[in-house]
Structure 1
Amino acid sequence: MRLKNLLFILIVNSLFSNAINLAVYLILGENLLNNWDAVVLSGLVVFGLQGILIHILVKSFPGKLFPTQMFGKSMVLNALLAAATILIITQVWTKYATGAPTIIPSQKKTVLYLLIFLLNSIPAAFLEEILFRHLPITYGDNKHYSPQQLTLLAVGITLIFSISHISAYMVRDHIPFTGLSQPLLGAFFYGLSYFLIYAVTRNIYLVTFIHAFSNNPLYLVDSPYRATFYFYSYIFVIIIWLMQREVRKRIS
């Protein structure tokens, strides 16, 4: 497979997801976002269609694209442990750094959040992680890319990742074209951090969770800096993960 084939897969999927999401949003209107069952149902339909498209397009990808160990039990357990650690650090760090009040969501809000998170946020993040992190990194592995080459690939892929969010920002969030620079820059840096996370951990579950919670968070501390502390927390945990991996290599 050539680089242009990888880019073709990413661009086609980006155009498809943008088009179908725009169609759903324009047909159902803004009330869609206030109707959780419609959000979940439409999301599942979109994710199903995009999953079929990805399955068709990646047939040209050489080698075994999804090795068995990628979805092993240890991957799930490690991801759950790291995710729980990130959430705890985020809440505690934000609370004691800012002194902001604690928020305890109601049972109804918590159940509704978990439902949307599991059926909408997780599938959306999973598909994007497969496309914009797993495929490029696997491509780089197959081509025996150096760290420098992989870094350049990460920057290029993440540019496509950030640009693919333009329609969501303009139609869903009502951001004018002239105001897109800030959200696109944010998407770019978040995308680079996800690329780093997957390159370091090779754990699709962990990077999916981090991405999904970034898109749809439930914080227990009422502070305008909580998203910043979440970013710091998951970067901190990934650094610890990397250090642990390097120690194990030296011991073995």
Structure 2
Amino acid sequence: MSLKLFTKILLVNIIIVIIMNICFYFEFFKVLLSNYIISILLGLLFLCLQFAIVLYILKKNKFWLTDPFQKKSILKGIALTGIIHIIIYLLSVFFSNGILNKNIHIKSTYFFTFIFNSLPNALSEEWLYRYLPLRYSKQFSKKSKTFLVIVITLLIFTIIHIPSYIFQYNISLNQLYIVLANGIFFWFIYLSTKNLSFTVICHSLTNLPFNIYNLNYYMTYFYIAVTFTCIIWYVLRKR
């Protein structure tokens, strides 16, 4: 992959994301997106636009879009996600005196939001900011160059969230360290497992936690469970 192609794909997608978030500056757009279904559909529309443009830019290399999502890797990702939630349950039993709320509670819109918003957004970001940089770095013999690409894309991943913080969520930019920390965490997952499907699912669950038992420390347990799973996966992969 040439630097020109790599930069072009990143730049086009960054522009689309910035334009989408600037739209939130306008009151009529905020009112429009206050409708749940419309907000989901518009989000999917922007993602389809990103996909179509990337597809056009890739030309002969269109298989890059499906390459990291082979059936085997997807099944592994789903299976490991199940194991992670078993670990979370066990951690809650041992360290939180059992499940705090034994009545399973899931909002009716959870799965719809997860499948049509959280998952597609995570898929787009992980392909752009994890898979693509690593694929581009395959041409380098020195690990220092690969590390530099990882650092640069990590910073871009963090900076690209600034428009959404300002225009969409009205969150202080002081909170950007959370995006940076998550970006490092997602890189850790992908580098240790080399499974983009699993990384996408973890990213999705970070955006929209599957905390069906309303645990106080769900996210802490989630990060511990994922880290433990990734370390074991890495060790087994290297054997």
- Normalising TM by the smaller chain, what interval? 0.7 to 0.9
Output the CA distance in 2 between the equivalents of 1:103 and 1:171. 38
Q: Conserved in 2, the CA contact under 8 Å of 1:94 and 1:221?
A: no
Output the CA distance in 1 between the equivalents of 2:100 and 2:25. 35
Tell me if 1:204 matches 2:203: no
SS at match of 1:193: helix
Q: Which moved more, 1:14-23 or 1:115-124?
A: 14-23
Q: Residue 242 of structure 1: CA displacement?
A: 0.3
Q: Residue 229 of structure 1: CA displacement?
A: 2.2
Tell me if 1:128 matches 2:125: yes
Describe the shift of the 1:103–1:188 C-alpha distance in structure 2 as closer, same or farther (beyond 3 A).
Answer: farther
Q: Residue 64 of structure 1: CA displacement?
A: 5.8
Identity of aligned residues (%): 27
Q: TM-score, normalised by structure 2?
A: 0.86
Provide the residue aligned with 2:30 in structure 1: 29
Describe the shift of the 1:169–1:24 C-alpha distance in structure 2 as closer, same or farther (beyond 3 A).
Answer: closer
Residues 90-109 of structure 1 correspond to what in structure 2 (within 5 A)? 90-99=88-97, 101-102=100-101, 104-106=103-105, 109=107
Output the CA distance in 2 between the equivalents of 1:97 and 1:38. 42
> Could you list the runs of 5+ residues in structure 2 that have no partner in the other structure?
none
Q: Conserved in 1, the CA contact under 8 Å of 2:101 and 2:215?
A: no
Q: Residue 40 of structure 1: CA displacement?
A: 1.8
Q: Residue 231 of structure 1: CA displacement?
A: 1.6
Q: Conserved in 2, the CA contact under 8 Å of 1:137 and 1:199?
A: no
Tell me if 1:238 matches 2:236: no
Tell me if 1:193 matches 2:185: yes
Q: Which residue, out of 127, 135, 140, partners 1:138?
A: 135
Describe the shift of the 1:149–1:76 C-alpha distance in structure 2 as closer, same or farther (beyond 3 A).
Answer: same
Q: Residue 113 of structure 1: CA displacement?
A: 0.5
Residues 46-195 of structure 1 correspond to what in structure 2 (within 5 A)? 46-59=46-59, 65-66=64-65, 68=67, 70-99=68-97, 101-102=100-101, 104-106=103-105, 109=107, 111-141=108-138, 143-175=139-171, 179-181=172-174, 183-195=175-187
Provide the residue aligned with 2:15 in structure 1: 15
Q: Conserved in 1, the CA contact under 8 Å of 2:32 and 2:39?
A: no
Q: Which amino acid aligns with 2:173?
A: L
Q: Residue 5 of structure 1: CA displacement?
A: 4.3
Describe the shift of the 1:235–1:145 C-alpha distance in structure 2 as closer, same or farther (beyond 3 A).
Answer: farther
Provide the residue aligned with 1:6 in structure 2: 6
Q: Which amino acid aligns with 1:169?
A: Y
Cα RMSD, aligned residues only: 2.6
Q: Conserved in 1, the CA contact under 8 Å of 2:47 and 2:120?
A: yes
Q: Deviations over 1:39-62 (max 9, x none)?
A: 32112111111111222333486x
Q: Conserved in 1, the CA contact under 8 Å of 2:21 and 2:168?
A: no
Output the CA distance in 2 between the equivalents of 1:193 and 1:76. 20
Describe the shift of the 1:64–1:116 C-alpha distance in structure 2 as closer, same or farther (beyond 3 A).
Answer: closer
Provide the residue aligned with 1:250 in structure 2: none
Q: TM-score, normalised by structure 1?
A: 0.82
SS at match of 2:209: coil
Q: Which amino acid aligns with 1:29?
A: K
Describe the shift of the 1:39–1:66 C-alpha distance in structure 2 as closer, same or farther (beyond 3 A).
Answer: closer
Q: Conserved in 2, the CA contact under 8 Å of 1:154 and 1:192?
A: no
> What count of residue pairs does the alignment treat as equivalent?
237
Output the CA distance in 1 between the equivalents of 2:232 and 2:33. 41
Q: Which amino acid aligns with 2:193?
A: T
